[in-house]
Amino acid sequence: MINTFNLSDYDCIGFDLDNTICEYRIAPMVQMIYDVITEYLIKTHNYSAKYLQQPIDFAFLQKGLLLDTERGNVLKLNGTGKILKSSHGTRFMSDEEIMSVYGSSCSWSVTDSFIQNFMDTWNGPLSEKIRPLLDYFDFPISLVFARCIDSVDDACTNTTYNVWPDIFQGLHYMYSRDNFSTNVGDFFFNLKTSPTLYYNKCPNYVINWLKELKKTKKMFLISGSHVDYASFSATQSLGANWKELFDIAVFFSKKPGFFNQNRPFYNTDDLNETSITDAISLGKIYSQGNWSQLYNLFKKETGKSNPKCLYMGDNILQDVLTPEKFSGLDTIAIVEEMKMDSDSNEFNTDIGLLQPNKWGSYFIDNDKNEISVWTSFIINHSKLCIPSIKALASKPINYEYKSFCKSKIFGGFFPFTPNNMYKLLK
């Protein structure tokens, strides 16, 4: 059975900004993030420079790893929450060692909770035990965490660790929304002073595709970035007239809560969040907010009681699973680890960093022939999985994509590899 997918079927089409509309140069970005946070940890919390200032081991990095913060382990999960691979610090554990820690089933009650309802582990006590690394902003943190564990083990023998709170403080030091305007934390300062080092320009054919979509669709942006940083990134990617490509933009949206909570919208003025507003309208930029209110606006503007909405983004939990599961949007997963073919670097010049490495493939564990937790989420909660919006922009808007039903993919009728998955979906 083949299902079809067509952009023309939608009334409203939305996008995440970072790593969706805005494409970063992954290698220099990862290097900069690693350098900023390790310098902070060395200076502020006295972690060992011997460990943290080693060259980055890019083969250790993979999007979607999870941290067992108390045991000092880095985990890769399958679709049911079973631990496929694990390292203690940077040292990979044998299957026997994994079972000695997590039991013969290689499972953990906290990862079970993550699979059943990840919101239970997003905040509260469980969030202190597990941390998923979801995008390229926390891509280097698995290695930072692992090397911190190595340095602690070198000094003493531990059964539990308290490394994560220090790293979390470092992330706040880098990414706090006030830091873009104040130049605190180095991350935003580096981006502002050397934007061409970190941003790839959006190709003209993608910009033209967005313009064409806007003629018949309500176009929206929903980003977690604060309005000043988001505006800067959109300008670097799309140009100074980026606002003309969208009917409405929502920044500092606090995803995933934007899609299942009821936070108020704030007006913005001169790249600052100002007052709460009860009424939102097209043609403006807002901060925070919620999907329910935005959807009501789309009902009004389209004149339809149930306008069909599509949203696409790279963060599988925030941009794919949550909007589909809690708000009923159709979603597209943007996964740069997937490529058009084995020779193409069209989608990102740093694609070599994203190929299978010490952890295997992002999508599957070939040794155990099991799909990853992220592949499971993608199959169950998205309409398509593509390496870039360039894959959509290169086709006519009314192009009919063909996707094989979930049961066939799970049933093994087709080998599940990144390349084959993309070929199936296109």
What is the Cα–Cα distance from 145 to 150, expressed in whole angstroms? 9
Residue 262 has pLDDT above 90, yes or no: yes
What is the Cα–Cα distance from 394 to 209, expressed in whole angstroms? 8
Position 411 confidence tier, pLDDT thresholds 50, 70, 90: very low
Residue 269 has pLDDT above 60, yes or no: yes
Every domain of the chain with CATH number 3.40.50.1000 lies at 2-22+202-425
Question: pLDDT tens for residues 29-84?
Answer: 999 999 999 999 999 999 999 999 999 999 999 999 999 999 999 999 999 999 99
CA distances for 103 relative to 85, 97, 98, 99, 373, angstroms: 14, 9, 7, 4, 19
Lowest mean pLDDT among 26-40, 78-92, 337-351: 337-351
Mean pLDDT of all residues in 114-132: 90
User: Taking Cα atoms as reference points, which of 54, 282, 34 lies closest to residue 141?
Assistant: 34
What is the Cα–Cα distance from 191 to 32, expressed in whole angstroms? 9
Question: pLDDT tens for residues 172-219?
Answer: 999 999 999 999 999 999 999 999 999 999 999 999 999 999 999 999
Amino acid at 200: N
Percentage of the chain surpassing pLDDT 70?
91
- CATH 3.40.50.300 at 2-22+202-425, yes or no: no
User: Taking Cα atoms as reference points, which of 308, 328, 249, 325 lies closest to residue 281?
Assistant: 249
Question: pLDDT tens for residues 245-257?
Answer: 999 999 999 999 9
Q: What pLDDT does residue 353 have?
A: 79
User: Taking Cα atoms as reference points, which of 425, 312, 406, 318 lies closest to residue 21?
Assistant: 312
Given a contact cutoff of 8 angstroms between Cβ atoms, the answer to whether 12 and 137 are in contact is no
Position 351 confidence tier, pLDDT thresholds 50, 70, 90: low
pTM exceeds 0.75? yes
Position 120 confidence tier, pLDDT thresholds 50, 70, 90: confident
Given a contact cutoff of 8 angstroms between Cβ atoms, the answer to whether 134 and 63 are in contact is yes
Q: What pLDDT does residue 349 have?
A: 61
Given a contact cutoff of 8 angstroms between Cβ atoms, the answer to whether 68 and 75 are in contact is yes
Helix axes 164-175, 141-155, angle to 10 degrees: 140
